[in-house]
Amino acid sequence: MLRRSIAGTLLLCYLAACTSWHVEKEASPLQVISTKHPRAVRLTRADGSRMVLDQPRIAAGDSMAGVHNGVTSTVAVLDVTQVATLRVSAGKTIGLFLGLAVVAVGTAVIACVSSNCIDN
Protein backbone atom coordinates (compact mmCIF):
# COMPACT_ATOMS: atom_id res chain seq x y z
CA MET A 1 0.00 0.00 0.00
CA LEU A 2 2.84 2.38 0.85
CA ARG A 3 4.47 1.71 -2.52
CA ARG A 4 1.30 2.73 -4.35
CA SER A 5 1.09 5.97 -2.40
CA ILE A 6 4.71 6.80 -3.18
CA ALA A 7 4.27 5.89 -6.85
CA GLY A 8 1.13 8.06 -7.09
CA THR A 9 2.88 11.00 -5.48
CA LEU A 10 5.85 10.69 -7.83
CA LEU A 11 3.52 10.50 -10.81
CA LEU A 12 1.81 13.72 -9.77
CA CYS A 13 5.20 15.40 -9.45
CA TYR A 14 6.10 14.37 -13.02
CA LEU A 15 2.94 15.98 -14.42
CA ALA A 16 4.54 19.40 -14.02
CA ALA A 17 7.17 18.25 -16.52
CA CYS A 18 4.45 17.92 -19.17
CA THR A 19 4.39 21.63 -19.89
CA SER A 20 5.87 23.73 -22.69
CA TRP A 21 6.23 27.43 -23.37
CA HIS A 22 3.48 28.71 -25.69
CA VAL A 23 4.07 32.05 -27.44
CA GLU A 24 1.11 34.41 -27.05
CA LYS A 25 0.80 35.93 -30.52
CA GLU A 26 -2.49 37.78 -30.34
CA ALA A 27 -2.06 39.68 -27.09
CA SER A 28 0.30 42.23 -25.61
CA PRO A 29 2.29 41.30 -22.49
CA LEU A 30 0.01 43.44 -20.32
CA GLN A 31 -3.10 41.76 -21.77
CA VAL A 32 -1.64 38.31 -21.10
CA ILE A 33 -0.92 39.17 -17.47
CA SER A 34 -4.26 40.86 -16.83
CA THR A 35 -6.46 38.24 -18.54
CA LYS A 36 -4.64 34.92 -18.00
CA HIS A 37 -2.94 35.61 -14.67
CA PRO A 38 -0.05 33.20 -15.40
CA ARG A 39 2.22 32.13 -12.57
CA ALA A 40 5.23 32.66 -14.86
CA VAL A 41 5.97 34.28 -18.23
CA ARG A 42 8.99 33.97 -20.50
CA LEU A 43 9.86 37.32 -22.04
CA THR A 44 11.98 37.85 -25.14
CA ARG A 45 13.50 41.31 -25.20
CA ALA A 46 14.48 43.50 -28.14
CA ASP A 47 18.14 42.46 -27.81
CA GLY A 48 17.11 38.78 -28.16
CA SER A 49 17.72 37.84 -24.55
CA ARG A 50 15.10 35.87 -22.64
CA MET A 51 14.08 35.97 -19.02
CA VAL A 52 11.43 34.21 -16.97
CA LEU A 53 9.37 36.30 -14.58
CA ASP A 54 7.63 34.40 -11.80
CA GLN A 55 4.53 35.97 -10.26
CA PRO A 56 4.28 38.56 -13.04
CA ARG A 57 2.19 41.66 -12.45
CA ILE A 58 1.56 44.99 -14.08
CA ALA A 59 3.73 47.66 -12.49
CA ALA A 60 3.41 51.45 -12.59
CA GLY A 61 3.40 52.86 -16.08
CA ASP A 62 3.98 50.56 -19.02
CA SER A 63 6.09 47.96 -17.26
CA MET A 64 5.87 44.51 -15.76
CA ALA A 65 7.33 43.31 -12.50
CA GLY A 66 8.00 39.87 -11.12
CA VAL A 67 10.61 37.65 -9.58
CA HIS A 68 13.62 36.73 -11.73
CA ASN A 69 16.24 34.44 -10.18
CA GLY A 70 14.93 35.26 -6.70
CA VAL A 71 15.14 39.03 -7.18
CA THR A 72 12.27 41.41 -7.93
CA SER A 73 12.74 42.76 -11.45
CA THR A 74 10.94 45.24 -13.66
CA VAL A 75 10.82 45.19 -17.46
CA ALA A 76 9.48 47.91 -19.75
CA VAL A 77 6.74 46.58 -22.02
CA LEU A 78 8.28 48.45 -24.96
CA ASP A 79 11.41 46.32 -24.52
CA VAL A 80 9.44 43.05 -24.82
CA THR A 81 9.09 41.55 -28.30
CA GLN A 82 7.51 38.24 -27.30
CA VAL A 83 5.73 36.76 -24.29
CA ALA A 84 5.18 33.05 -23.64
CA THR A 85 3.19 31.20 -20.98
CA LEU A 86 3.41 27.63 -19.73
CA ARG A 87 0.77 25.22 -21.01
CA VAL A 88 0.22 21.50 -20.65
CA SER A 89 1.70 19.64 -23.61
CA ALA A 90 -0.53 16.76 -24.73
CA GLY A 91 2.32 15.02 -26.55
CA LYS A 92 4.62 15.10 -23.53
CA THR A 93 1.82 13.91 -21.24
CA ILE A 94 0.94 10.97 -23.49
CA GLY A 95 4.63 10.11 -23.86
CA LEU A 96 5.10 10.17 -20.09
CA PHE A 97 2.19 7.82 -19.46
CA LEU A 98 3.22 5.44 -22.28
CA GLY A 99 6.78 5.40 -20.99
CA LEU A 100 5.64 4.69 -17.44
CA ALA A 101 3.34 1.92 -18.71
CA VAL A 102 6.23 0.29 -20.61
CA VAL A 103 8.43 0.44 -17.50
CA ALA A 104 5.66 -1.03 -15.32
CA VAL A 105 4.92 -3.88 -17.74
CA GLY A 106 8.64 -4.56 -18.24
CA THR A 107 9.21 -4.67 -14.49
CA ALA A 108 6.27 -7.04 -14.03
CA VAL A 109 7.53 -9.35 -16.80
CA ILE A 110 11.04 -9.42 -15.36
CA ALA A 111 9.68 -10.12 -11.86
CA CYS A 112 7.45 -12.86 -13.22
CA VAL A 113 10.24 -14.51 -15.22
CA SER A 114 12.74 -14.32 -12.36
CA SER A 115 10.27 -15.90 -9.91
CA ASN A 116 9.18 -18.61 -12.40
CA CYS A 117 5.52 -17.62 -12.25
CA ILE A 118 4.96 -18.84 -15.80
CA ASP A 119 4.18 -22.57 -15.98
CA ASN A 120 6.23 -24.51 -18.50
Q: Which pLDDT value is given to residue 66?
A: 95
Say how far apart CA 34 and CA 58 lie, in whole Å.
Answer: 8
- What is the per-residue pLDDT for 17? 62
Report which of 79, 90, 74 is spatially closest to residue 19, judged by C-alpha positions: 90
The pTM for the full model equals: 0.63
Write out the chain's pLDDT in tens, 120 residues: 667 766 666 666 555 567 889 899 988 888 999 899 999 999 999 999 999 999 999 998 789 999 999 999 999 999 999 999 998 766 666 776 677 777 777 787 787 777 776 655
Sign of CA dihedral 91, 92, 93, 97: positive
pLDDT value of residue 70? 93
| Domains of the chain by start residue, with CATH | 2-107 (3.90.70)
Burial of 29 (0-12, 13-18, 19+ CB in 10 A): buried
CB 86 within 8 A of CB 19: yes
Task: State the helix-helix crossing angle for 2-15 and 90-114, rounded to 10 degrees.
Answer: 150
